[in-house]
């Protein structure tokens, strides 16, 4: 049984997306890459569940 | 193809031009685009004498709006102009999204049942304008005091405390006209806004779009196709959309540093089209143009006795079809308010609510179309990476599809928490009909709810008692409905929710003012006064 939720789950998708892009505003490509890494680690910690994280890593790589 | 430059309202000399001193008009609307035409109809059908001046003599040249939303059709229906639009328009529900030629996914707008009008129709703007002019003609014949003058260009304005003097240039030379109220519907480059030295700030998107309207013999389905980064490279993104008369709109995103004249040379346009359609598809060019897009608005839409509506007040990028559609909502919002002020049924502060509500709507439209534009034309490497990640994931996972943004199609704005919006006293009432929202349609036996919400204020009661009319400076008519009028259950779902009964106070533009479970005379009167700015009387 897959534990990773891939059904729509973000309450206001357009708002979230705009915020995500805005967070990168004014950064160089390297700075953006570093920000993304920090963001992934923060979200991963929030999720915590090892199975979900493993599935997410695989999904991101395989898609 | 119809002749787009039909002289629907040719210049004719008017006695005003020979008057010894300038004639005074209650309202003058400048600009015969969709918004000016709608404003003149709205006022004229309410019996307010309205003068409409346009510098052209017929519908606009060229190809602009093609997508008209349900709310526009509902408003046009209130004017008696929607039937020909619906007849002529193309209805579409299926959209397909491609990335690098792969289909990422398709969506069905799955329109909700129980509305007279579809979510959208595709129809060329010049057809819409022509139908509005046709309706002005029949309204005039029925006695509506609309005076439409072509070949009349406003070239100067002189604002006085109680009126504005216009200098109008005509083929017979200039003449002066006085007007109590001036509604400027003179488009995005509004000469009136410039004459008044008013700002119009916002964002220019550093991209050009090549628009080609073509006729094809090939049998393409009636769907909206959107390509991100197609391999034919004819555009960084490309949109294909069907219009009536066998015409297709193709919209290529072609970048910022381009040579306009070069791009518009037929062989160059054809190179892009053939790359996209393949060598075997025959087509004819109907119209081509290059546009840049901006999202901006005026700081204020009302300047005392001069009111701005449509593109003169706000401009959006076309993704989401919010330009003409929101301009028609401006007309819908302004008509009843200006009519009440002119009849002295309400103080002129009521017009400040036009400013407040429509600025709120413009901000919502600008926000949505800016987000779409940012998704379609990412401006940094990281946003490009995210955009393509969304597209890639959307091919496989449902969650990413709501993030794909090739335009969020225009829906009416809800005036949540604004000055005219009253209380929500209906526990369990549906969110979509809360005070401030535009009434959704619903079938009623042999007609539709919106047919019954015309002209004035309405007190809609569903299984609730109330007086049949209510006079409070102005008269409110009651529309008494019950479960028996609701064959499909749509009325209950849209207006009752968990409630057993409901009382709605509804504005002449079909927006909800206030609602409650049962009739409360004091509360209804309070809401009515608030929504007509007569709270102190
Ligand atoms: C490529 C493209 C695609 C679009 N697609 C859509 C779409 O699908 N859906 C949508 O809703 N919107 C769309 N739009 C936007 C839409 O075309 C505009 O929002 C709409 O035309 C605005 O109407 P308006 O009446 O405010 O102004 P306009 O249509 O610009 O009309 C202004 C009128 O004022 C007249 N005028 C100007 N100056 C004077 C003067 N001094 N005296 C007298 N008359 C004057 C002009 O001649 C004109 O008739 C699109 C726009 C473009 C460019």
Output the pLDDT for position B535. Answer: 81
Cα B415 to its chain centre, rounded Å, is: 16
Give the residue extent of every domain in chain B. Answer: 15-89+115-200+296-364, 202-293, 424-531
pLDDT of residue B320: 86
| pTM as predicted | 0.95
Beta strands in B45-110 (DSSP E): 50-53, 67-69, 90-91, 94-99, 102-108
H-run or E-run covering B30? strand B23-30
Percentage of the residues of chain B whose pLDDT score is greater than 90: 85
Of B327, B314, B437, the C-alpha closest to B366 is B314
Give a three-class secondary structure readout of B317-343.
Answer: CCCCCCHHHHHHHHHHHHHHHHHHHHC
**A contact set with B (CB within 8 A):** 5-10, 13-14, 16-18, 20-21, 24, 27, 29, 32-33, 36, 59, 63
The mean of the pLDDT values for chain B is: 94
Per-residue pLDDT band at B2 (split at 50, 70, 90): very low
pLDDT higher than threshold 90 for residue B161: yes
Domain B15-89+115-200+296-364 falls under CATH 3.50.50.60: yes
Strand bridging mode B512-516 / B424-425: parallel
The residue assigned the tokens 């049924």 is B345
E-assigned strand segments in B256-338: 283-297, 302-303, 306-308, 314-315
For the CA of B36, the closest atom of ligand 1 is 25
Q: Name the pLDDT band for B5 (thresholds 50, 70, 90).
A: low
Query: Which member of A9, A24, A29 has the closest CB to residue B399?
Result: A9
Nearest CA to ligand 1 atom 52: B64
Q: Which residue of B has its CA nearest to A17?
A: B403
What spacing in Å lies between the alpha carbon of B362 and ligand 1's midpoint? 16
Residues β-bridged to residue B211: B251, B289
Please, which residues have CB within 8 angstroms of residue B159's CB and are 6 or more apart in sequence? B196, B304, B305, B306
Asked whether B235 lines ligand 1 (CB < 6 A), one says no
Checking if the pLDDT of A44 tops 90, the result is yes
Answer whether residue B268 shows pLDDT above 50: yes
Q: Is the CB of B390 under 6 A from ligand 1?
A: no
Q: Which residue of A has its CA nearest to B372?
A: A14
Judged by CB atoms closer than 8 Å, whether chains meet at A5 and B399 is answered as: yes
Cβ separation A27–B386 shorter than 8 A: no
A-B CB pairs within 8 A amount to: 52
The pLDDT value given to residue B455: 78
Chain B closest CA to A50's CA: distance in Å?
21
* pLDDT of B150 strictly over 90: yes
Amino acid B296: pLDDT: 95
- Ligand 1 atom with least separation from CA of B125: 17
pLDDT band at residue B536 using 50, 70 and 90 as cut-offs: low
What's the mean pLDDT in A10-36?
Answer: 97
Q: Which CATH architecture has domain B202-293?
A: 2-Layer Sandwich (3.30)
pLDDT 10s digits, B471-514 = 988 999 999 999 899 999 999 999 999 999 999 999 999 999 99
Q: Which pLDDT score is estimated for B379?
A: 87
pLDDT, mean of residues B435-460: 95
Task: Give the minimum alpha-carbon distance from B385 to chain A in angstroms, rounded to a whole number.
Answer: 10
CATH number assigned to the domain covering B424-531: 3.40.30.120
Structure confidence by residue, pLDDT tens digits, B86-129: 999 999 888 999 999 899 989 888 789 999 999 999 999 999 99
At B194-210, the pLDDT tens digits run: 999 999 999 888 889 99
Q: How far is B369 from chain A (nearest CA, A)?
A: 11
- What's the pLDDT tens digit per position in B287-342? 999 999 899 999 999 999 999 999 999 999 888 899 999 999 999 999 999 999 99
- pLDDT tens by residue, B370-420: 999 999 989 899 999 999 999 999 999 999 999 999 989 889 999 999 999
Q: Model confidence at B1, in pLDDT bands (50, 70, 90)?
A: very low
In percent, how much of chain B has pLDDT > 70? 99
The answer to whether B261 faces chain A, any CB pair under 8 Å, is: no
Instruction: Judge if the beta carbon of residue B55 lies within 6 A of ligand 1.
Output: yes
Residue bearing the CA closest to ligand 1, atom 35: B31
Of the candidates B383, B401, B408, the beta carbon closest to that of A21 is on B383
Model confidence at B60, in pLDDT bands (50, 70, 90)? confident
Whether residues A6 and B398 touch (CB distance < 8 A) is answered with: yes
Q: Which of A13, A21, A33 sits opposite B386 (nearest CB)?
A: A21
Give the position, in ligand 1's atom list, of the atom nearest the Cα of B310.
26
At residue A1, does pLDDT exceed 70? no
What whole-number distance in Å separates Cα of residue B169 and Cα of residue A33? 60
Q: Which residue of B has its CA nearest to A18?
A: B371
Partner residue opposite A6 with nearest CB, options B383, B386, B397 = B397
């Amino acid at each position: 049984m897959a534990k990773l939720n891939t059904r729509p789950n973000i309450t206001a998708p357009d708002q979230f997306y705009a915020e995500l892009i805005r967070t990168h505003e004014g950064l160089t490509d390297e700075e953006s890459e570093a920000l993304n890494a920090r963001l992934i680690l923060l979200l991963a910690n929030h999720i915590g569940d090892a199975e979900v994280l493993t599935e997410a890593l695989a999904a991101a790589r395989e898609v | 193809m119809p002749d787009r430059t039909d002289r629907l309202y040719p210049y004719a000399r008017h006695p005003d031009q020979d008057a010894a001193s300038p004639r005074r008009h209650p309202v003058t609307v400048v600009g015969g685009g969709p918004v000016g035409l709608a404003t003149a109809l709205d006022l004229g059908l309410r019996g307010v004498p309205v003068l409409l001046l346009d510098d052209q003599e017929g519908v606009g040249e060229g190809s602009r709006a093609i997508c008209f939303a349900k709310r526009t059709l509902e408003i046009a229906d209130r004017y008696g102009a929607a039937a020909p639009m619906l007849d002529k328009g193309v209805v579409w529900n299926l959209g397909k999204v491609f990335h690098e030629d792969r289909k990422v996914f398709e969506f069905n707008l799955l329109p909700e049942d129980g509305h007279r009008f579809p979510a959208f129709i595709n129809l060329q703007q010049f057809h819409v304008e022509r139908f509005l002019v046709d309706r002005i003609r029949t309204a005039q014949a029925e006695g509506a005091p609309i005076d439409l003058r072509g070949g009349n260009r406003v070239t100067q304005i002189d604002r006085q405390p109680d009126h504005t003097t216009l200098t109008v240039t005509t083929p017979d030379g200039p003449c002066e006209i006085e007007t109590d109220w001036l509604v400027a519907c003179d488009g995005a480059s509004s000469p009136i806004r410039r004459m008044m030295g008013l700002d119009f700030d916002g964002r220019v998107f550093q991209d050009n779009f090549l628009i080609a309207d073509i006729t094809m013999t090939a049998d393409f389905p009636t769907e909206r196709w959107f390509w991100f980064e197609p391999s034919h490279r004819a555009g960084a993104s490309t949109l294909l959309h069907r219009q009536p008369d066998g015409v297709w709109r193709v919209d290529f995103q072609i970048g910022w540093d381009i040579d306009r004249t070069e791009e518009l040379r037929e062989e160059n346009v054809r190179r892009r089209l053939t790359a996209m359609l393949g060598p075997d598809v025959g087509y004819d060019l109907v119209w081509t143009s290059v546009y840049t897009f901006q999202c901006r608005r005026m700081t204020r839409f009302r300047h005392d006795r001069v009111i701005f509506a449509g593109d003169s007040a706000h401009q959006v990028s076309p993704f989401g079809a919010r330009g003409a559609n929101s301009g028609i909502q401006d007309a819908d919002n302004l008509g009843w308010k200006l009519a009440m002020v002119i009849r002295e049924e309400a103080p002129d502060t009521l017009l400040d609510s036009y400013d407040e509500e429509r600025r709120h709507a413009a901000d919502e439209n600008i926000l949505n179309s800016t987000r779409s534009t940012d998704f379609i034309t990412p401006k940094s490497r990281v946003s490009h990476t995210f955009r393509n990640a969304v597209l890639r994931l959307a091919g496989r996972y449902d969650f990413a599809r709501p993030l794909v943004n090739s335009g969020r199609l225009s829906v009416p704005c809800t005036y949540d928490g604004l000055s005219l919006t009253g209380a929500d006293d209906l526990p369990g009432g549906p969110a979509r009909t809360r005070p401030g929202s535009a009434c959704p349609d619903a079938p009623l036996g042999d007609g539709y709810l919106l047919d019954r919400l015309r002209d004035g204020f309405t007190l809609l009661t569903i299984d609730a008692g109330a007086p049949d009319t209510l006079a409070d400076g102005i008269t409110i008519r009651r529309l008494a409905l019950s479960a028996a009028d609701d064959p499909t259950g749509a009325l209950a779902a849209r207006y009752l929710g968990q409630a057993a009964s409901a009382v709605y106070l509804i504005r002449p533009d079909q927006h909800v003012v206030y609602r409650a479970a049962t009739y409360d005379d004091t509360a209804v009167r309070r809401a009515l006064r608030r929504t007509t700015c007569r709270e102190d009387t």
